[in-house]
A and B are shown apart, each in its own frame.
Chain A
């Protein structure tokens, strides 16, 4: 079964607005990664946050990690139509070698 669970399952916003996606997981992790997938480019790595980090930024992306709540959030600021895609969180556990992906959040940004 998938360890990561994203919330919401789908999100529709206007261009320029911010989009926030959440991810929850179940067991201890080494790190958590966010990926984007669209039909044109496949799965692309966005950002990696390690278990000893609480927040990380990359351009318009901001990721937070709360290991006590076993949750993470991805914030995309000033969204663009090109941000339309599915976003997945993926966890690398401490007890094995698997990378576990959630079911994803489908983001639609209207121009």
Chain B
């Protein structure tokens, strides 16, 4: 079984400030890791993913995340946020192989609010 914990339910920041959204996971097998963003009244959009290789992955809209296997974490960062980054962010995992067939297990979400 897998689980994902997003350590902050809400993160308020000012425009142009850096932000970090924290995600820890638990799994007995190797995993793939994802960050999705959900804007109000919309579906989920993939920001970035870690499958293998370099532990620092870059995504869309200036976001990046670092996979830390020893700490089972996959924190999302952006050096300078914009008002348009206000949204809910979800961390997710899927099993790398086995019989999961790709189903995603999501964290509870972090609402990022960017203030002017």
A, B bound: no
